[in-house]
């Protein structure tokens, strides 16, 4: 239970007892949370009206029941959209963060390779790598903050292996965790640090290149999936706005049943499509 609660925290204390980012948890800012929820509620509510709006009309004219049902369906669809969109949004943000961290970690290894190649010891190599990273990234970027924490830990006589292990555990990245393990073994056994780090850098670079190639090839498929996901809603909305007799069919009991079945099929197809295009490199 304690481990589960720790995994859900946005920050985890480093060996220096500083709160450092937990990369497996994404916490939205107040403004971001309000904006995402509002957008999901409005879009979801309008989508609900596209399929279930205009019920209980008499001779083509709206009644009080029509207005009440419109508000109820708008609110229900909006709340449902908020519940469905928030996890998807957080997942996308976590994936983007993970991708950025992987790229930045590769650049960190590249700087370490250069430092060790010049004959620097471990402390000097990490300090030099931090300097290089500060020229590439801002102080707010993930890898700069992590490297600064590692260097500060070394300065306070905390072993670099412990600092790297903490970084790897918080990142949830297999490459960083593997590097921490390899570094610890190599450092304690007196291995060739330059070769190990260079090899790790080469492997990660190759993995990122393959991932980028896969992502490029899937971009058009993902775009088609997004367009096809929106098209049914757009087509129904257009027909309802331009064809009154067609719109009237939606307000019948049969129309409501058919709409509900169609929405179920649509959601199922959307989720199945996500699994098709969601290929990890």
Please give the average per-residue pLDDT across 202-207, as a whole number: 85
- Distance (Å, whole) CA 151 – CA 209: 29
Helices (H), the chain: 2-7, 30-52, 64-117, 122-136, 142-155, 160-171, 174-189, 193-242, 244-250, 253-277
CB atoms within 10 A of CB 209: 11
**Average pLDDT of the chain?**
86
Compute and round to an integer the Cα radius of gyration of the chain.
26
Residue 276's pLDDT is 75
Contact predicate 146/76, CB 8 Å? no
**Higher model confidence: residue 258 or residue 156?**
156
> pTM for this one?
0.81
Burial readout 172-181 (b: 16 or more C-beta within 10 A, e: otherwise)? bbebbbebbe
CB atoms within 10 A of CB 116: 22
- Distance (Å, whole) CA 239 – CA 200: 57
**Higher model confidence: residue 63 or residue 4?**
63
Q: CA torsion sign, 211 to 213 to 217 to 223?
A: positive
203 has pLDDT over 70: yes
What DSSP designation does 61 have? B
- Distance (Å, whole) CA 187 – CA 183: 6
Confidence of residue 270 (pLDDT cuts 50, 70, 90): confident
Confidence of residue 280 (pLDDT cuts 50, 70, 90): low
pLDDT tens column, 122-180: 889 999 999 999 999 999 999 999 999 999 999 999 999 999 999 999 998 888 998 88
For strands 11-13 and 19-21, give the pairing. antiparallel
- Distance (Å, whole) CA 249 – CA 266: 19
1 has pLDDT over 60: no
- Distance (Å, whole) CA 75 – CA 250: 19
- Distance (Å, whole) CA 274 – CA 64: 40
């Amino acid at each position: 239970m304690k481990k589960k609660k720790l995994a859900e925290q946005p920050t985890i204390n480093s060996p220096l007892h500083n709160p450092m980012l937990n990369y497996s948890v994404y916490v939205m800012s107040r403004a971001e949370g309000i904006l995402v929820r509002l957008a999901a509620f409005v879009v979801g509510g309008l989508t609900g009206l596209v399929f279930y709006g205009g019920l209980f009309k008499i001779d083509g004219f709206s009644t009080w029941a029509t207005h009440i049902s419109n508000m109820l369906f708008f609110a229900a669809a909006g709340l449902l959209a908020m519940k469905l969109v928030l996890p998807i949004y957080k997942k996308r943000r976590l994936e983007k963060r993970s991708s950025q961290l992987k790229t930045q970690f590769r650049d960190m290894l590249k700087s370490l390779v250069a430092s060790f190649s010049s004959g620097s010891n471990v402390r000097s190599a990490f300090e030099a790598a931090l300097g290089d990273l500060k020229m590439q990234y801002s102080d707010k970027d993930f890898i700069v903050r992590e490297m600064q924490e590692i260097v500060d830990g070394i300065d306070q006589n905390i072993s670099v292996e412990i600092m790297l292990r903490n970084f790897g555990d918080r990142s949830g990245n297999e490459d960083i965790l593997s590097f921490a393990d390899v570094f610890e073994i190599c450092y304690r056994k007196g291995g060739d640090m330059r070769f190990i780090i260079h090899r790790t850098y080469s492997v990660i670079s190759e993995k990122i290149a393959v991932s980028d190639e896969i992502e490029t090839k899937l971009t058009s498929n993902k775009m088609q999936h997004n367009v096809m996901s929106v098209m049914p809603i757009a087509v129904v909305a257009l027909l309802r706005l331009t064809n009154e007799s067609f719109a009237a069919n939606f307000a019948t009991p049969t129309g409501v049943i058919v709409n509900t079945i169609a929405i179920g099929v649509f959601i199922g197809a959307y989720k199945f499509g996500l699994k098709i295009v969601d290929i990890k490199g």
